[in-house]
Amino acid sequence: MKLLLDTHTLIWWLSNDSTLSLAAKEVIANRDNLVFVSAASAWEIAIKKSLGKLSAPDDLEAQIEKNSFQSLPITISQALTVGKLPNHHNDPFDRVIIAQAICESMKIITRDRKFELYDISILKS
């Protein structure tokens, strides 16, 4: 299964936060699944961290690699898909993640209820 972590899911995983559901922990840990982290999440983390609004590892890229997660760059096609999405969600980072999941046929692991308004596969984080 191809999984895409929402930004908060990535942070919870890396910090071993008990908020992360057991089901999410199991699928992320399952080596038969491919787990992806969007460049949009790294971008969001970098911005929020620089503003003092978020705590995240200083070695985020190394942590992503250490956990055998795959990085997911943002393609032109994915960026254009953002513009075709219904306007259920105004967060630009989340809209990119949603578009990537659509374009790449991935299941998103998220706790964000607004994602449910889109025609995508979700696992609650």
Q: What is the pLDDT of residues 83-122, one digit of tens each?
A: 999 999 899 999 999 999 999 999 999 999 999 999 999 9
d(CA 43, CA 97): 12
pLDDT of residue 89: 85
CATH architecture of 2-124: 3-Layer(aba) Sandwich (3.40)
Mean pLDDT across the chain: 96
